[in-house]
Chain A
Amino acid sequence: MLAGTSLRAQSASPAAPTPPEAQARLERVRAQIFGSADGIKNAVPELKAILALDPNLAEAHMLLGVAYRGLGTDALTGEAKAELQQAVDLDPGLVAARLMLAQVYFDLGRYESARDEATTALQLVPGQPQFLAVLAEAERHLGNPTRALALSNLAIQADGRLPQARYYRGLALIDLGRRDEGIQQLQEVTNGGVVAPEVYLHLGAALTDAGRLDDAIAALAFGAKLGTRTREIRIELARAYRLKGSLLLADQQLTLATSAPGNVQVTSGYQRLETALSRERGLLRLRQARLPAAAEALQAAITMDPADGPSHQGLAEVYLRQGLLPKAREEAALAASLGAPLPANLQQRLGVTSPGTAEKGRE
C-alpha cells in the first residue's frame, strides 16, 4: 500500500524522533501487517503495547489504523479512522497516514473528505502518484469522471507500475461509457497480480454488463475468495449466474450473501447492499417463475429505495405475469420514469409505450 511513498514528507516539520527500540518494534509490526491476515490480528495487541509505553508515536497510531482497516469489519472502521487522524495530528508530515485515511473515507462514502486529504497530501508531496490516484478516485465518486481520468493518467505518467492508478483509471473509463477500455484496464491490473477484491468486483460487474458472463463469473468467483467485500461480490456473482441461466448457483450465492438477522447498520453502503440483495433475489425468483416470492423481494427492495428503477421494472413484469395489469402498468410507468423502461415486447403486452429503450434495465 505504501509502495513508492516515503512515510513522511521531507518538506514537513520534523516530528519527534522515535526511540530506536520502539522503531525496531514498529518495523517488526509493519512486516506483520503486510505479511498475512493473522499478522494483522497479532499486530493489534503489539501496537497497543507500544502505544501504552508512548501514546504519542504517530507511526504506531498509523499502523494501528492500517491494521484495523485490514481486519475488514465495519465496527472497526471508526477506530481505524480515529487512529489515522491521531497519527496525522501528531505528525502532519506522515503522508502515508493521509493516504490510508483517504481510503477509509472511501469506505465510508465520504468522498469530499477523501479529496481534501489527498489534496493536502499533494501539497506536501507534489505530484506523488498514489495521491494523484486517490484524488482521481475521489473526483470520480464526486461525479467528475473526466477529471478523474486526467488525474489517473497523470498518476500513471508519474509511475507506470502503479496498479492503483490503473484501477481507478479503469473505473473512470467505465463511468465515461468507455466500458471495453475500462475492462481492458482492469484486466491489466488483475493480470499484474493484484488481488484486491474491489478490483474483481468492478471487473466482474463490467464484464456482466458487457454480456461476457463466463469471464465475469471467473473474475467474481476469484474475488469472492479474497475475504472482504464478499457480500457485494456474491450478489454480483448471482446476477451473472442468473443471466447465464445457472439459477441454482445464483440462489446459492444469494444465500451466502445474506447477512445475519438483526445485523442492521445505518451506513448508506450497507443499505445499498441490502437493496441490491433484495433486487437480485426478486429478479432470480422472477426467472424461476416464483412470482409471489419475486414480488415480495422486489417490494422489499423498493421499500429500501423507492427510486430503484430495476426493481420497479421487475415488479411490473411480475404483475404482468400474474395478470394484475393495472398494477403492472403503474410499476412500468414508475420504472420508465426512473430510467428503467420495460423491454419493448413487455410494453406491447401491457399496451404501454415508453420513450427510449431498456438501457438501464434489470440486467
Chain B
Amino acid sequence: MIARTWMVAVVGLALWAAPLTGQRGAGAPAAPPLVDVTAQAKITFVHDSGASPNKYMVESFGSGVAWLDYDNDGYQDLLFINGAPGSSNALYHNNKDGTFTDVTRQAGIAGNTGANAKSYKTGVAVGDFDNDGFLDVYVTAFGPNILYRNNGNGTFTDVTATAGVAGAPTDWSTSTGFFDYDHDGDLDLYVANYLNYKLTDNPYCGFQKPGYRMYCSPTIFDGTPDRLFRNNGNGTFTDVSKTAGVANPSGKGLGVAFCDVDGDGLTDVYVANDQVRNFLYRNNGNGTFRDIAYGAGVGFDGEGKPQAGMGTDCGDIDGDGRPEIFVTNFEDELDTLYKNLGNATFQDVTASIGLRSSYGPLGFGTKLFDLDNDGDLDIYVANGHVIDNVQLYRPTSKFAQKPLLYENIGGRFRDITAASGPALQLERVGRGLAVADFDNDGDLDVVVANQGQAPLLLKNQSPPRSWLTIKAKGRKSNGFGLGARVEVEAGGAKQVREINNVASYLSSNDIRLHVGLGSAQTVDRLTITWPSGTKQTLTNVKPNQILTVEEP
C-alpha cells in the first residue's frame, strides 16, 4: 500500500513541478497555489479581540471561523466568530460567483446581546444536531456558549437554554465539535475548556514599566474540565463529562480533533492542551472514554516533555490507512506529528519528517488536507504570537508571523511557504483556520481568522487534477455522516479518510469529504462504513464531481 501511495505521490510531484500544458503557456512561472481573494470576495469582517491595557488573557487567543452551507444551496457559506464583548459575529452567504454577502442580521447569529453581551466569543462547531437536514451552529465563549438551531429559512434561533449546553457561565470554552460518540444516530457535542480564569483575578505579568505589561503564562492558572454533552434526541442534551471520563480538571484544552485512532469504528477524541500534556480519549464503545495518552505516546513530545498545544488535526499522512495526529505548538517548540504505529500507539516523528521549520513560529490553526489533489495530505499552519508586545522582551520574536505550508511528498514534508506566492509572505496574527471548496471547483480553499485583523480568504489555484467530493446523507446514522470511514481506491492507490469537519483551532471545516485523486480517471471502488455500521460500496465512480451518497 505504501508503494502504491508513493507512486501517486511521485506522479503528483512531477505534475507540481511541470504545470499541465494547456493550462498555462510553456515556460510560464508556476502560479502560487493559494491566492488572497478576501477583498474581491467582499469580505469586510475585521476581528475585534477586545485588547485592553489590562491584558486579560482571553484577549490574546483569537476566534475561529466555520464553513457551512447553512441554506443547503450547495455552496459553502462562511461564519466568522468575533471576540470582544458586544462584537458581532459575521455570517457571509456565498453568492456562487466568488463573492459573499453579509447576512448576519437577517440570520440572527450575531451573538452579542442578552446573556452573550459580555462574552468573549471563541470557537465554533457545525453539525445537524436535530437531524432536520440543516446545519446548526454552536459558538463557544469565555462566558455562556450558544447553540443556534437552523430554522431552515436562512435564520437561526438561540436554543441554548432549552438544549442545556451553555456550560458554566465562567467556562472559558475553546475548540468544539459535533460527533456521534455513542452511535445512536444523533450528534453529541464535545467542548474543550481552557483555564479556570476570571477577569477579576488577572495578575500583572511582565515588567512594571509602562507598555511592558504582557499577557500572563497559562502556567499560573489552573486548568478546567472539558465538557461532553450527550444528545438526548429531543432537542436537549445531558452533560455526561464526568461519567464519560473526559472531565480531567488539569486540562487546558485549546484544540480538539476527532478520529478513529485504533480502527475500531468508534470516534476517539484528541485534545491539545496548553503547557500540560495532551489527552487522547479512546472511545470504549459503552458511553465512556479512557485517556490513553500515556500508553499511546501522544501526551508529550518525543523527549517526554509537555508542549503548548494549540491547534490539532488527524489524518493518514503516510497512506498506511491509519490516522496520524498533528499538533501546533508554541514558539521554540516543533509542531508535532505523531505517527500512528497501530495498536493505538504513536511515535513523534516530527524532526525526521521535514517539519523542522515549525520550530520558530507559534502555531495555531491547522489542517491536514490535499492542497494539490495529488492524493495525500498536506499541511497549512496559521501562526501568530500570543503576546502583542513580545518584541520588548524577545527582539527575535514577532506578534504577527508568516504561516507555514508543507507539501506531502511520499509521507515526508517539504516547506513550500516561500514558494507559495505573496499571500503567504505577509505576517499576520493567525488563529482559526478552516478549509472548504467554497467555489466548488474541485480544490480546497483556506480561510484564516486573524486576531484583531481582517481574515484571509485564500483561493486554491493549484494545477488541476482529479478529485472527488462526497456529501454524505445518513439515514440510520447522523444526517451528514460525521464519523463515517471512507476508503477511496483509485489509480492503484487507496486512501482512507473520515467524514469529519472538526479539526484546527476554534474552527470548523467543510462537512463534505474532499479527496484528491491525482491523475486517476475513475474511482475503482468507494467504500463507506457508516457510523451505524452499514457498509456501502460504489464502483467505477466518475471523478471530478460532488457526489451525494445516501446511507442505504
Q: Which residues of A contact B (CB under 8 A)?
A: 44-45, 48-49, 51-53, 55, 74-79, 81-83, 85-86, 89, 108-110, 113, 262, 264-268, 271, 275, 302-307
Contacts and interface: CB of A to CB of B under 8 A. Distances in A.
Contacts of A53: 295
A331 to B, nearest CB: 16
B234 interface: no
B359 to A, nearest CB: 13
Interface stretch (B45-53, B143-151, B202-210): B202-210
A81 B250 contact: yes
Given A79-B276, A303-B209, A268 B204 contact: yes
Contacts, number: 98
Given A55-B294, A268-B203, A109 B250 contact: no
Q: Among A44, A81, A266, find the residue whose CB has the most chain B CB atoms closer than 10 A.
A: A266
Nearest to B395: A262
B277 interface: yes
Interface residues of B, number: 39
Contacts of A52: 292, 294-295
Contact of B250 (A75, A77, A86, A108): A86
B230 to A, nearest CB: 21
B199 interface: no
Contact of B216 (A55, A86, A262, A266): A266
B12 interface: no
Interface stretch (B87-95, B219-227, B521-529): B219-227
B104 to A, nearest CB: 36
Contacts of A49: 294
Contacts of A86: 248-250
Given A82-B223, A85-B249, A307-B208, A48 B203 contact: no
Interface of B: 203-209, 212, 214-220, 222-223, 247-252, 275-277, 290-295, 304-306, 387, 393-394, 396
Contacts of B214: 266
A48 B293 CA distance: 10
Which 9 A-B pairs have CB atoms at the shortest separation, nearest pair first? A52-B295, A82-B250, A82-B276, A78-B219, A304-B207, A52-B294, A85-B250, A51-B294, A78-B275
Contacts of A79: 275-277, 306
A74, A78, A113, A265 interface centre (most CB from chain B within 10 Å):
A78
Contacts of A78: 218-219, 275-276, 306
A265 to B, nearest CB: 7
Given A78-B218, A82-B223, A304-B207, 14 more contacts: A55-B293, A81-B222, A81-B276, A83-B250, A85-B249, A86-B248, A86-B249, A266-B216, A267-B217, A303-B209, A304-B208, A305-B208, A305-B209, A306-B208
Nearest to A65: B250
A89 B208 contact: no
A262 B295 CA distance: 34
Contacts of B387: 266
Given A51-B294, A55-B291, A266-B217, A85 B222 contact: yes
Nearest to B218: A78
Contact of A110 (B204, B220, B292): B220
B220 A108 contact: yes
25 contacts: A45-B304, A55-B291, A55-B293, A55-B295, A75-B305, A76-B306, A77-B219, A78-B219, A81-B250, A82-B276, A82-B277, A85-B222, A85-B250, A108-B220, A264-B393, A264-B394, A266-B206, A267-B217, A267-B219, A268-B204, A271-B205, A271-B206, A303-B209, A304-B208, A306-B208
